[in-house]
Chain A
C-alpha cells in the first residue's frame, strides 16, 4: 500500500511538473491579446459607429490623422460601409480617401491618412452602400 501511495505521489508530482513546464513555455500570440479605448456605457446603443481613438501628428508638411471607429452591435445586417475622408482647406474641400469594406459588429475600423498642413480639418463620413449616413466626424487639424 505504501509503495502504491509513494508511486502515485511521484506520478502526481511529475505530472504537475510537466503541466507547469508546459504552461511556463506558453506565450499567447501577440495579436490575440488586444485592448481598445473603452466606449462610454451611456452612448446611444442605436448609433452605428463610435470614435474610440483619434490622433493628429505633424510629419513634415503633412498632418497624419489616425482614427479608430468601433462598429456597434446595432443593425448587424448592415456590414458593407463606405468611408469618405475629405480635407477642409482654405481653397475648399478636397477628397483624400474613399474606401468600401465590410465592418462587423464589435469590430474596430482603423484609419490613417495624411492631410496637407495648411488645411483646417479632416471631414470623415461613414455611409452605408445605399448612401445612408452612419457617422460624420470633423477632426480639427490645428490646435
Chain B
C-alpha cells in the first residue's frame, strides 16, 4: 500500500478501500471471464427451469473499464514500485491487441491477487469479498431493473458475475445437500473428539443494529412480494407459484361458495390455515387473499426466526437471523411451490420451540400452555409439518426427561394433547365431510413404508436409483432453489458447531432440538417417496441453524483475520444470498 509519504493528500483508508474493492472486482470479473471462455451453462429458474450460460460480454468500452479498474488496483497496491510498474505496463499493453486484452487482464488480475496475498493473506481475502459484494450489487440492480421495467446497461454483467460465483457447485449440489443432512453425525463426532468449550459469542461489533436488520428484512419481504405482484414482469397480476393456482385460489372460491364451515372439509389436512384464507377471502376477495398469503408467510417466518434466536442469542444476532430469513431456501422454495400452509406451520413450530426454550428457562404454566397451544396450531395449519415438528419436540423432551425430571410432566402432557388433538380433529373433520387426519397419517405411514421397501430393494441409499430420485428432488422440484450452496454449507457448519458449544440449560435443549429435528427430517427425506423428498427437506428451520453456523465462521475469521475481514465476509455472504434470492424470485415471475 502506498504510504502517506507517497501520497500525502489521499487518506490512507480511502486508498486501501479503493485498492481492495478494485482488485476484488477485477478478480471476480477475471473468474467470470474464465467461466465464460469455457462456455459453461448452469440450471437456473427464469420463466421455468432453463440452462443459462455464463456469458461475460463487455464490448471494448467494458474492457477499457476493466483495464482502468485493474490499473487503479495495481497502482494503489503495496507491491514494490517495479512490480507495480510492470503490471501497469501489462495492463496498458493489453490495449494494443483487444483480442488478447481480456486474457491479459484476467492473468494480471490473478497475478496481482496472488502477489498481494503472499504479502498479506488478509488483504487477499478482503479483496475477494469486496469483489463479491460489488458483483452482487450489480446483479441485484439488474434483477430490480427487470422488476421495475427499467435497467441500466452498466448492470448487464451482473448476472454473469453472479452465476460464475456458484455455477460449478451446482454439479455437486445433491452432495452438498446430503452433507448438510448428515451433519448431525458430524456433531456427534465433534462432541466425541473434543469437549465443548465455545460459547455463542456476541456479534455486536460485526452485525448491524437489530432494528436496522429487521427493517431490511421487512423491505426484502416487501420487494419479493412486489416483484411477484406489482412489477413490470407481471402486468396482468397472474398468480405466481404452483399451489396458489392449483390449490389455494380454487379452494378459496369453493369455501366461499360452500359456507363458513367448509374450511374443515376443503382444508381437512390444514384447517387452521384455511380458516385464515377464508377470513381473508371474505375481507378482500379470493384473488387478493391468495396474493397476500406469501407476504404474510415471509413476515411470520422472519418474526418467528427472530423470536427463537433471541431466546439463545443477543438482539443483533436475532436481527441477523431475521435478515437471513427472506433469503433462505425456506423462502425461495415456499414462493416457488406456494407452500403457504407448510410455511405457516413451520413458522408456528419455530414459535413453539421459542416458548419451549422460554419454559425451560423460566418455567410456569403460562409458557407450557402457550407452547402446547402453538404445537396444536402447528399441526392444525399443516398436519404433516405438525407431525414432523411434534416428533422432533417429543424426542427433545424424552432426551431432556432422561437428564432431569423437569421435562417429564410436559412430555406426558404433550403426548396427551397430541392424542386428544388427533381424536378431536378426527371427529370434527370427519363430521364436516373432510378426510380424517388419522387416515392422512395412516396413508403417509403406508406410503413411507412402501417407499422404504423400494429404497431397500433397489440397493439402499446411495444406489443409482436413490441418487436419481434425490438429485431430481434437488434440481427439479422447486426448480433450482436448492442450488444455493451457502444455506446448506452454513447448516452443516451450524449443526456441527453445536457440538463445540458449551451445553448447559437452555442451549443444551436447543442443540438437542435442532439436531433431533434435522435427524428426523433426514430420515424422512432419505426414505421419502419420489415426489415428497423436497417436501421432507422443507420441514426444517434452516435459518436458525444457519445463523449459528455463520456466528461460528465469523468468530473463527475474526480471530484469525480481524474484525474488518469478518464484516466484509458477513456483507459478502448476505449480498450473495440476496443476489440469489432476488434473481430467483424475478425468474419465478418472468
| B282 interface residue per 8 A CB criterion | no
Inter-subunit contact A41/B36 (CB<8 Å): yes
The listed residue (A25, A38, A43, A105) touching B38 by CB distance below 8 A is A38
Inter-subunit contact A41/B156 (CB<8 Å): no
Inter-subunit contact A32/B171 (CB<8 Å): yes
Among A21, A37, A104: residue with most chain B CB under 10 A? A104
Number of interface residues of A (CB under 8 A): 48
Residue numbers in A under 8 Å from B193 (CB-CB)? 8, 11-12
Inter-subunit contact B146/A76 (CB<8 Å): yes
CA distance A49 to B357 in the complex (A): 57
Closest to B195 in A: A4
Residue numbers in A under 8 Å from B157 (CB-CB)? 45, 73
Closest to A9 in B: B193
CA distance A106 to B39 in the complex (A): 11
Indicate the size class of the contact surface on chain B.
35 or more
CA distance A68 to B43 in the complex (A): 18
| B51 interface residue per 8 A CB criterion | yes
| B1 interface residue per 8 A CB criterion | no
Dominant secondary structure of chain A at its interface with chain B:
loop
Inter-subunit contact A106/B55 (CB<8 Å): yes
| A108 interface residue per 8 A CB criterion | yes
Q: A32-B475, A79-B47, A106-B163 are in contact. Are A25 and B463 (CB under 8 A)?
A: yes
Q: Which of B74-82, B180-188, B331-339, B345-353 contacts A (4 or more CB under 8 A)?
A: B180-188
Inter-subunit contact B41/A34 (CB<8 Å): yes
Residue numbers in B under 8 Å from A73 (CB-CB)? 55, 57, 142, 156-160
Inter-subunit contact B175/A39 (CB<8 Å): no
CA distance A52 to B39 in the complex (A): 10
| A46 interface residue per 8 A CB criterion | yes
| B423 interface residue per 8 A CB criterion | no
Residues from 162 to 182 in B contacting A, C-beta threshold 8 Å = 163, 170-172, 174-175, 178-179, 182
Residue numbers in A under 8 Å from B145 (CB-CB)? 76
CA distance A26 to B172 in the complex (A): 8
Inter-subunit contact A41/B189 (CB<8 Å): no
The listed residue (B36, B53, B156, B462) touching A74 by CB distance below 8 A is B156
CA distance A25 to B468 in the complex (A): 11
Residue numbers in B under 8 Å from A41 (CB-CB)? 33, 36, 56-58, 62-63, 102
The listed residue (A12, A21, A36, A107) touching B462 by CB distance below 8 A is A21
Residues from 11 to 42 in A contacting B, C-beta threshold 8 Å = 11-12, 15, 18-19, 21-23, 25-29, 31-42
The listed residue (B42, B58, B170, B174) touching A45 by CB distance below 8 A is B58
Jot down 17 A-B pairs with beta carbons below 8 A, ordered by A: A8-B189, A21-B462, A26-B175, A29-B471, A29-B475, A32-B42, A32-B43, A36-B41, A37-B39, A39-B55, A40-B57, A42-B98, A70-B53, A73-B157, A76-B142, A105-B52, A105-B159
